[in-house]
């Protein structure tokens, strides 16, 4: 079980020819951990470089307006129309669906602009057909449309922002291929900050590219649910369906 401290030391060995028994100097360890955390948090922008997706679930009831994806330490406001999933800030939503009495109802991931320009939310309740994601700095809000008119079980599969690490933490929760990629990615950035750019050779760059390709290949792709979308968002489908 290697610690983050040992991981950073390994990063420095990639760009330095110093004796492996020589400890890091000055702020080397602090800088390395800072760079590693910057990389981990930057992956939450698109979720592409987070390869590990999780399925989370929460019960929702009549009139529930929003689902909030947060860090466990976040204190969500007390509001009966909100429900919180404390599994971390959502980086990328792969798919979402509802279940009721053993029947699955897929949700369509609709763009915010399309939703806000199409219909007002408050008057409608029924079987939710859409999920609209609103990213914020510390949390991500997801709104169901229409609002549920009865009890459902909500499921979402997605990628969640990785936690920051300290020197005594480990990266054991990450796959080995992920750790190998982080090893080269962190070493490359450290070489720039430490004035060691010349140590980052074309051979190392090629190894980083190979590790990146493996990461991208392992990353789940968001397969949007498509179908007959004509007049779905503006409510006409509800009239035809008798809802």
- pLDDT tens digit sequence for 156-174: 999 998 888 999 999 998 8
Residue 106 lies in a domain: yes
Residue 215 lies in a domain: no
pTM of the model: 0.77
Residue 212 lies in a domain: no
What are the tens digits of pLDDT across the range 48-66? 888 888 999 999 988 787 8
CA distances from 159 to 83, 96, 135, 142, 218 (A): 19, 12, 13, 14, 13
Give yes or no: residues 129 and 171 share one domain. Answer: no
Q: How far apart are CA 183 and CA 190, in angstroms?
A: 11
Write the DSSP symbol of residue 2. Answer: -
Residue 104 pLDDT level (bands cut at 50, 70, 90) = very high
Give yes or no: residues 237 and 143 share one domain. Answer: yes
Count up the domains in the chain and report the number: 2
What integer pLDDT is reported at residue 222 of this predicted model? 57
Q: How far apart are CA 169 and CA 184, in angstroms?
A: 19
Residue 97 lies in a domain: yes
Residue 217 lies in a domain: no
Q: How far apart are CA 210 and CA 213, in angstroms?
A: 5
Give yes or no: residues 86 and 147 share one domain. Answer: yes
Residue 153 pLDDT level (bands cut at 50, 70, 90) = very high
Give yes or no: residues 121 and 228 share one domain. Answer: yes
Residue 219 lies in a domain: no
Residue 80 lies in a domain: yes
The DSSP string of 78-110 is --TTEEEE-S--EEEEEEEEEEETTEEEE-EEE
Give yes or no: residues 130 and 143 share one domain. Answer: yes
- Domain housing 196: 4-48+163-200
Within 8 A by CB and 6+ apart from 109, the residues are 93, 95, 96, 130, 131, 132, 133, 222, 224, 225
* pLDDT at residue 235 is higher than 70: no
Give yes or no: residues 188 and 120 share one domain. Answer: no
Q: How far apart are CA 53 and CA 185, in angstroms?
A: 21
Residue 154 lies in a domain: yes
Give yes or no: residues 15 and 81 share one domain. Answer: no
What are the tens digits of pLDDT across the range 205-232? 999 999 999 988 888 765 454 444 544 5
């Amino acid at each position: 079980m290697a610690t983050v401290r040992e991981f950073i030391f390994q990063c420095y060995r990639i760009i330095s020819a110093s004796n492996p028994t020589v400890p890091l100097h000055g702020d080397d360890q602090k800088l390395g951990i800072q760079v590693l955390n910057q990389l981990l948090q930057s992956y939450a922008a698109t979720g592409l470089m987070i390869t590990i997706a999780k399925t989370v679930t929460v019960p929702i009831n009549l009139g529930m307006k929003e689902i909030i994806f947060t860090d466990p330490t976040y204190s969500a406001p007390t509001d009966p129309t909100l429900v919180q999933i404390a599994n971390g800030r959502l980086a990328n939503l792969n798919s979402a669906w509802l279940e009721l009495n053993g029947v699955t109802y897929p949700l369509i991931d609709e763009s915010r602009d399309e939703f806000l320009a199409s219909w007002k939310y408050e008057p409608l309740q029924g079987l939710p057909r859409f999920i609209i994601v609103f990213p914020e700095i510390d949390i991500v809000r997801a709104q169901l449309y229409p609002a549920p008119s009865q009890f459902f079980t909500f499921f979402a599969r997605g990628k969640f922002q990785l936690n920051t690490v300290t020197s005594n933490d480990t990266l054991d929760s990450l796959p080995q291929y992920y750790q190998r990629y982080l090893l080269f990615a962190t070493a490359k950035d450290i070489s720039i900050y430490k004035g060691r750019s010349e140590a980052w050779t074309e051979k190392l760059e090629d190894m980083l590219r190979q590790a990146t390709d493996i990461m991208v290949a392992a990353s789940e792709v968001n397969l949007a649910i498509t179908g007959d979308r004509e007049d779905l968002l503006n409510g006409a489908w509800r009239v035809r369906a008798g809802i």
